[in-house]
């Protein structure tokens, strides 16, 4: 799982990072990357190759654009239909508008909450997102996990696998993305498709 933060206030960005790191340690939640940015285009460029359950914490207002976070969430949904989106904002009055964007957000966390409440809400979102990591993205999918990476891709989205020049490195070509990962042998991949 990767965790993404879109927040243009540096203090709030660092606050959220600190809380996520602390809670991840407390609950032994494994994540590959924690990526924070104030720029929507940077976040969107980072999620090109997602193939797993990802967690996104998005501020609604970016650079004084009230609905920018909602627009970003809509773009995320196109690239990552299985990701978990959480809005973190000072604009609680915008909560009902999030439904109009149909981005299926998990939660709407207000920045002004007491610190304990804020941490509790972030904790709940982290635990839910972590529990979803093991849920298949499709009933018929290719799943792969090692200590460096984990992902799930529906078999219907896969075009082919190919070996690379680097030993044990495999490239997976799908309808929407290209994934490079390390696997022991092709036998591990073939076993994924064979019935038990």
d(CA 20, CA 122): 7
Q: Are residues 33 and 106 in the same domain?
A: yes
Domain with 150, as residue range(s), is 141-193
Q: Are residues 102 and 41 in the same domain?
A: yes
Q: Are residues 167 and 127 in the same domain?
A: no
Residue entry with tokens 């720029």: 39
Q: What is the pLDDT of residue 192?
A: 53
d(CA 8, CA 3): 16
What pLDDT, in 10s, does the model give residues 79-132? Answer: 887 789 999 988 666 666 666 667 778 888 999 999 999 999 999 999 999 987
Q: Are residues 121 and 100 in the same domain?
A: yes
Q: What is the pLDDT of residue 194?
A: 47
Q: Are residues 112 and 189 in the same domain?
A: no
The counts of H helices and E strands in the chain are 6, 10
Rg (CA), the chain: 18
Q: Using the predicted structure, report yes or no on whether residue 47 has a pLDDT greater than 70.
A: yes
- Give how many domains the chain has, as a whole number: 2
Binned at pLDDT 50, 70 and 90, residue 56 comes out as very high
The pTM is what?
0.70
Residues 89, 93, 96, CA angle at the centre, nearest 5°?
A: 100
Joined together, the tokens standing for residue 117 give 């409440």
Residue 162: which CATH number?
2.40.50.1020
Say which residues have a Cβ less than 8 Å from residue 130's Cβ, sequence separation at least 6. 1, 27, 29
Beta bridge partners of residue 182, listed in sequence order: 169
Q: Are residues 124 and 145 in the same domain?
A: no
Q: How many CB atoms lie within 10 A of CB 102?
A: 10
d(CA 164, CA 194): 24
d(CA 111, CA 9): 11
Q: Are 110 and 59 in contact (CB under 8 A)?
A: no
């Amino acid at each position: 799982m990767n965790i993404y933060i879109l927040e243009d206030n540096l203090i709030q960005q660092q606050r959220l990072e600190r809380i996520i790191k602390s809670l991840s340690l407390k609950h032994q939640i494994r994540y590959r990357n924690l990526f924070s940015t104030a720029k929507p285009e940077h976040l969107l460029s980072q999620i090109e190759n997602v193939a797993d359950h990802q967690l996104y914490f998005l501020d609604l207002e970016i650079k004084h654009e009230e609905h920018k976070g909602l627009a970003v969430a809509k773009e995320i949904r196109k690239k990552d239909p299985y990701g978990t989106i959480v809005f973190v904002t000072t604009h609680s009055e915008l909560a009902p508008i999030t439904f109009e964007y149909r981005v299926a957000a998990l939660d709407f966390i207000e920045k002004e909450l007491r610190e304990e409440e804020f941490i509790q809400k972030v904790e709940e979102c982290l635990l839910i997102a972590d529990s979803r990591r093991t849920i298949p993205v499709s009933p018929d999918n290719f799943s792969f996990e090692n200590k460096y990476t984990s992902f799930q891709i529906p078999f219907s989205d896969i075009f082919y696998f190919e070996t690379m020049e680097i030993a044990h490195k495999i490239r997976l070509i799908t309808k929407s993305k290209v994934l490079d990962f390390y696997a022991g042998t092709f036998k591990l991949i073939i076993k994924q498709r064979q019935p038990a």
